[in-house]
Amino acid sequence: MKKMINSVESLLEESLNGFAKAHDDIIQLNHQPRFVARKQKAKQGKVALVSGGGSGHEPLHTGLVGQGMLDAACPGQIFTSPTPDQMMAAAEAVDNGSGVLFIVKNYAGDVMNFEIAGEMLDCEHATVLVSDDVSLPKDHSTGRRGVAGTLIIEKIVGAAAEAGASLLECKTLGDRVNDNTASMGVALTSCTVPALGKPTFDIGDNEIEMGVGIHGERGREPMDLASAEDIVEHLANVIDAELKPQSGQKVLLHVNGFGATPAMELYLVFDLAVKYWQQRGVEIERSLVGNYTTSLDMAGCSITLTLLDDELIQLWDAPVHTANLRWGQ
C-alpha cells in the first residue's frame, strides 16, 4: 500500500484540517463532535440541510457545504457511518427555526444513526432517503443504495431551501428527485482502505466489476474487460430500463469518477452516454462530469440520469457556492 499519510489513525483529522484551512472562507470545522458547517450561518427561517456518511467519498459531503447546498455535513471514519452525536450537534448548530432535513444515503449504519439522532432532536426534522443505485433490485433486502445521485438531490433541494421552501416542501422535492434519478457504476480496480492495507476485493487484469457500490463492495457481476462503448451501453441500458425516458424528455446526465479515473476517460464516457440517449430522442439539458462521489482510489465511474422538468432545471441552475460546486452569483 502506497498512501500519502502519516498514520491510519490521524488521516481523517489531518485531512479535515487541511480542507478547513483551504476553504476557510466557506466552511468551519467543529472537532468534537466532528462536523463541517457553513462559516456564515444561513438566514433565520431557512430549512437547514444536513447530510453525512463515511469518509472516502470526497468531495461528498463536506465539499458540498455552503450557499445553495448543505448547511452541515458529518464525516465518519473511512467507509464508516458518523455517530448520532455528530448528527445531533450538527443539526442543532445549523437549525434556523424552520426545521432540519437530513439527506441520508441508504446504508444501514447511516440510516440507523440518523434515526437515533432524529429521535433526540428537539427541533422539527424530516429525512430524504437516497436510493438511486439501480444495480440492485427494488426488492433488495436492505433496499437500493444511495450513490452519486445524492449530490443532485442536495443541489436541487438546497436551492429550494435557499428560496424559502418549507420542511415538508423540501422533503417532498427530495423524494421526487430521488424517484426520478438512477445510477449505476463500474469498477476497473478495487480500492484500498488504509486500515486494511490491501484492495477490498480481487479483480483480474482483464476483468471489470459491473454494478459496484461506493464502499469497496463487489459489483453485481464480474465481466470481461470491454471497450468503453460496450461498458457505457451496458450501464445505460439498465438506467434507461429503470427510468424509461420518453423522446423529448429533458435530463441531467452526470458522469462521476470513483477517484482514479482521469478526466480524459470520464469525458469519453460522457460523450458515449450523450450519443446513447440522443439516439433515443432524450434531450441532455444539463450535465456534470468529474470526481464527486468517490471510492478512495478506485478506478471506474458511474453514470447518473435525472429526469428534469422546468422547476428542477431552475433549481439546478440556482446559484451555489461550496468548496467543490459553484456557479451563479
Catalytic positions are 57, 215
User: 35-38 and 27-30: which strand pairing?
Assistant: antiparallel
